[in-house]
Homo-oligomer: A and B are copies of this chain.
Amino acid sequence: MTDKNRATPEPGSPRTLPTTPDPTAAKDLQLLLDGRWASARETFREAFSKADLLPDPSQTLEEARESMLGNLEQIRATGLQRGVFSSKNGGSGDLGSTLTGMEMLGYADLSTMVKGGVQWGLWGGAVDALGTERHRKYIEDIIELRLLGCFGMTERGHGSDVQHLETTATYDPETKEFVVHSPSFSAQKVYIGNAARHGRMAAVFAQLHTPDSKESHGVHCLLVPIRDEEGNPMPGVTIGDHGYKGGLRGVDNGTLLFDNVRVPREALLNRFGDVSEDGTYTSPIDSHNRRFFTMLGTLVRGRVSVGAAGGAATRASLTIALRYAMRRRQFEGLPGKEKRLIDHRAHRLRLLPRLARSYALALLQNQVIENLHDQTTAIERGQWDVAKPNDEQLRKQREMESRASAVKVAATAHATETIQECREACGGAGYMTENRLTTFKADSDVFTTFEGDNTVLVQMVGKELITAYARDLSDLSPIDMVKFGVESIGDALRQRTAIPLAVQSLIDRVSDRDETSLFDAGYQVKILQEREHSLLKSLANRLKDAKKMEPADAVDLVDKAQDHLIDLAWARIDAMLIEALVEAEAELPDDSPAHPVLEQIRDLFALSTILKHAGWYQEQNILSGNRTKAARAAVNDLVDSIAPWSEVLVDAFGIPDALVDVPMLNDSGVDPLPSEEEEKEKESA
């Protein structure tokens, strides 16, 4: 009887890796993953390897919040926060280093990372990036933790839809003050970090009104003192406390409500919009929309940081779960001989494809950080005017922002799924707080929501592809989306980011789609891109008729295409991830012992990703059923081959031992680590 569930073997399969891994491969892989800020990483490894940064579950909520100040003090002392600030404000000019450090805080404690991110990245970042000369006086106090503050953007009624927030700032020429006011409870600022306990000022986003304006000049940001020296709320400011959350106990999230609070005219962060003493509004940017998104754009590093820290928490969890899997024994294989967890194929399948995706994400994250760093540096050097970028700069900026959104969505969604899987893969031990996985899970849980809800952001990524020519548009209004959508399908594809040469040449070598091996790197890129292109074409096609429709019908059409738009965005993300892996492979020295294992990590990522859409690929006649079956068999072979290299692959993450050497790894029923002498013998053998 023939077995329809089995595949015909795929030609060009890579050789099974040696069952005794080469530990020197970890070094080369780590160099690749460490990226441009490798030396900063070494510094932070040292600084963050102290166990006293780890969260202490026995603290009460208030104790956890207070102890966070001590943690921030430790970070402050390293100076890592200075990269957020421009050099004229005392910054170091090294944003990449700061973002790398914030990422690595994710290995230790996500509350510390978030509290630091609020203080320096959001609050400090807003003053630095949206303010001018007259706000410089605050910066050094912010850097040095003498002035703790809040980033008051999100409102109760408009969580994700910040362009429609309700708080108002109305200029009163009589007194030369702004009146900051919450006109309703849905205007209350919510989930604001540093608000419940420690913040003394807030950067408050509000609709700006001047006496001569009928409508708002759009959302602007003002500095509003919220607590006096004794810590009491300022007159007119009502502060609430969110209390207990699903995680991040060290972060004091609270609410802010303003009752006609008066601040001086100079409180307006006036880089992109100002009001003169007599109440005249001016801005270097004419378009309402573009002004708003220019302001938001300067704050994109918060988003980058959250994705990066989510990635770090995931790698720490995989390190713990895979080390456990390599040494924990459970169930007999041959009679009398217990297998290690990793010796069970189901266990390999649950962890190793996720490890491969974590590799791809780490590499893409590095690219985004480099990109953001370079743009920030160019702006610092005056080579780029954020308020008046040229077309090429505008394109680059939007592309970077879209990539930042993409990697934030991908890294945080992956974190939620993978940390959960790691917890379950460690059984009961995984549920004990001392083994860290449940805290990583609880703390990172909200990462899919804050700094841009993933469901909203992923649609931004898709929309960016479909409306790339509509430069002033970045919100989600369905009507606008139809109006500004691609004119033709050709437009959509021409918009596609230039693909690095190394990758393009591999794609070009693929001549016959049906005869190229599934293990061919160029073929893998091509297949994943094809999903993106096909979904983009068909979506553009669906939407183009909407231009002629009545608004209600057009809105309905866009809603019905929402899943299509989201699928497109994910296809784009997967294509970016495979490209990052291929580029990294090209960077490895030719003689590196890491080549064969990185190649298989790329195979595993590509084939497991393709298999998620095995139905679609067959529907589209891009892959035959025989090939998807072959891909499934290949994924099985790959996890078998890679399994013995798990330790090497997580070693390459370079996470300080103090942060991942959890009790269950040294438990009964878990093989002891080889002694140092045994290790040396093995290496010399």
Contact = CB atoms under 8 A, between A and B. Distances in A.
Interface in A622-663: 625-626, 628-629, 636, 640
A668 B184 contact: yes
A449 B433 contact: no
A615 B618 CA distance: 7
A346 B159 contact: no
Interface in A1-21: 1, 3-6
A418 to B, nearest CB: 13
Contacts of A349: 563
Nearest to A155: B669
Interface string A550-571: 0110010001101110100000
Given A246-B431, A448-B424, A563-B636, A615 B611 contact: yes
Interface string A435-452: 001110110011011100
Interface residues of A, number: 107
A623 to B, nearest CB: 9
Contacts of A560: 345, 636, 640
A330 B628 contact: no
Nearest to A450: B428
Contacts of A191: 428
Contacts of A60: 60
Interface stretch (A473-481, A576-584, A672-680): A473-481
A382 interface: no
Contacts of A538: 3-6
Contact of A243 (B330, B434, B555, B636): B434
A333 B669 contact: no
A228 interface: no
Contacts of A431: 245-247, 445-446, 449
A333 B478 contact: yes
A669 B186 contact: yes
Given A424-B449, A433-B243, A629 B619 contact: yes
A246 B345 contact: no
A387 interface: no
A541 to B, nearest CB: 6
A500 interface: no
Contact of A433 (B246, B332, B564): B246
Interface in A163-198: 164, 184-186, 188, 190-191
Interface string A50-71: 0000000110110000000000
A259 B185 CA distance: 63
A385 B677 CA distance: 60
A65 B284 CA distance: 61
Given A186-B669, A244-B58, A628-B615, A555 B428 contact: no
A156 B562 contact: no
B5 A246 contact: no
A344 B3 contact: no
A535 interface: yes
A520 interface: no
Given A243-B433, A333-B555, A424-B449, A188 B668 contact: yes
A562 B345 contact: yes
A432 interface: yes
B477 A332 contact: yes
A513 to B, nearest CB: 15
A335 interface: yes
A566 B617 CA distance: 24
A58 B64 CA distance: 13
A209 B37 CA distance: 62
A441 B185 contact: no
12 contacts: A4-B620, A157-B669, A161-B332, A244-B433, A332-B478, A335-B551, A344-B559, A424-B454, A431-B445, A438-B445, A615-B615, A618-B628
